[in-house]
Chains A and B, each alone.
Chain A
Amino acid sequence: AIRMTQSPSSFSASTGDRVTITCRASQGISSYLAWYQQKPGKAPKLLIYAASTLQSGVPSRFSGSGSGTDFTLTISCLQSEDFATYYCQQYYSYPTWTFGQGTKVEIK
């Protein structure tokens, strides 16, 4: 089974910061990677698919990059509404999915 490892697990940041979250797959997954944002008590929200394609309606401060085994999610200028937990998800093994363990972005 493909394993997804995110880093860091959590960190603190300030509004306006540029933040980067990384996700590593245990084997190559080409660009079959999505990123989600989840806020407490809510369902996940799809931000990015195909590693770098922004889902419609998602602010352009979010961006994704990478292919193969190493991926990043970048938030160029952190806003108050961006404090949340972020998950990467591989769908290379479609229709089965694997999620990373999550990265919690907290207010400094």
Chain B
Amino acid sequence: QVQLVESGGGVVQPGGSLRLSCAASGFTFSSYGMHWVRQAPGKGLEWVAFIRYDGSNKYYADSVKGRFTISRDNSKNTLYLQMNSLRAEDTAVYYCAKDQLRGAIHWGQGTLVTVSS
């Protein structure tokens, strides 16, 4: 069955960096686009970034453009989110999700990123 497992969250100071990972299994990872979606504590869902199946194209929300980089290693079945210049407002649970062209059926359990001094 499809499994997505995020890791790499933690506490980081404002201006710091963090790299999230999403380990995928149970499907042909290299055939699917992947998303990152985040949710601030007590708030709604916010789409963050998307990468095509082969890494050829990447898309970002305006709120993270220039600071976050999405990437993937299809040989390792792993999706990444490099987060730089972190701000307090980046504090959230970060989910990876498998693209299905019509939304996402499969999501990870999420990893919490806290930006605080």
Contact = CB atoms under 8 A, between A and B. Distances in A.
Contacts, number: 55
Given A1-B62, A46-B103, A99 B47 contact: yes
A98 interface: yes
Contact of A44 (B33, B46, B100, B107): B107
A46 B100 CA distance: 11
B76 interface: no
B95 A96 contact: no
Interface in A55-108: 55, 87, 89, 91, 94-102
B27 to A, nearest CB: 16
Contacts of B101: 91, 94
Contacts of B52: 95
- Measured as residues with beta carbon below 8 angstroms from the partner, the interface class of chain B is 20 to 34
A89 B46 CA distance: 10
Contacts of A96: 47, 50, 59, 61
A43 B109 contact: yes
Nearest to B107: A43
Interface of A: 1, 32, 34, 36, 38, 43-44, 46, 49-50, 55, 87, 89, 91, 94-102
